[in-house]
Amino acid sequence: SIAVNSGDIAFVTGHTTSTNFPTTSSAFKKSIGSELDTNAFVTAINANGQSLYYSTLLGGSKNTLGYAIALDSAWNAYLVGNTTDTDFPTAGNPYQDTLEGEGDGFLSKVVIAGDLRVTMTANKNGVAHNGYVTFYAHVTDLGPDTSNNVVFTDPIPSGWSYAGIYTTTTTCTTPQMGATSGSVVCNQSQLPKGSSFYVNVYLRAIASSGSTLTNTVTTSAQTQDLNQTNNTAKVVVTVQ
């Protein structure tokens, strides 16, 4: 069975007895004991057809077959099949967590998820009226999987005007120079585990002396994020 997501990545399921079936580094299960055993698999093939986006085995120590697969908008895979394994893996609070007959059907969700983290510093914590501050934002995927369609957003806060950016990512949209509203929005189609991109945002402090200004940035992805508590960063600057 096959399902194709919005990124033209093909997700395939079936079953294998191969002891060297190709799996990726973050696979839920990477090998089977012998060719007498059978496991289901979920394998995602990149749009170029030449590399794996994700691949894992699924099953216990005896016999598990994968029959059909479907995807949600976050690119998580839903797999149905049949198993005779008494040690078939379950998680959370399953409807049935043990084998009840010679063989049982199963529905498993295979989550492909990263952990995006954004941090930010500034070149100064105090600035003169009409002075400039550089905010250094850093987006990293902590894994275990690749994050897809990553978005970085920095809305221009009150008391600032936009003065430019520098970035290592692929595409950004920005307000006009001098704008006091709008957002810097940068996109990265794929961010593998351990990879990062940088966005330096230059803002001019137009608020009156004595004002306390906060710049807040966020990041998100189409694929699931396992820890959203580190998706926001902020820096406070005082106008002197």
Q: What is the pLDDT of residues 97-152, one digit of tens each?
A: 899 988 999 999 999 899 999 999 999 999 999 999 999 999 999 999 999 999 99
With beta carbons less than 8 A apart as the criterion, state whether 154 and 138 touch: no
d(CA 217, CA 233) in angstroms, rounded, equals: 5
What local confidence, expressed as pLDDT, does residue 33 receive? 84
Q: How confident is the model at residue 167 (pLDDT cuts 50, 70, 90)?
A: very high
Prediction pTM value: 0.82
d(CA 195, CA 117) in angstroms, rounded, equals: 11
Instruction: Summarize pLDDT for 9-58 with one digit per residue, the tens.
Output: 999 999 999 999 999 988 999 999 888 889 999 999 999 999 999 999 99
d(CA 164, CA 159) in angstroms, rounded, equals: 16
Q: How many CA atoms lie within 13 A of 32 on its CB side?
A: 27
Instruction: Summarize pLDDT for 74-94 with one digit per residue, the tens.
Output: 999 999 999 999 999 999 889
Q: Which two tokens stand for residue 78?
A: 């839903």
Q: How confident is the model at residue 211 (pLDDT cuts 50, 70, 90)?
A: very high
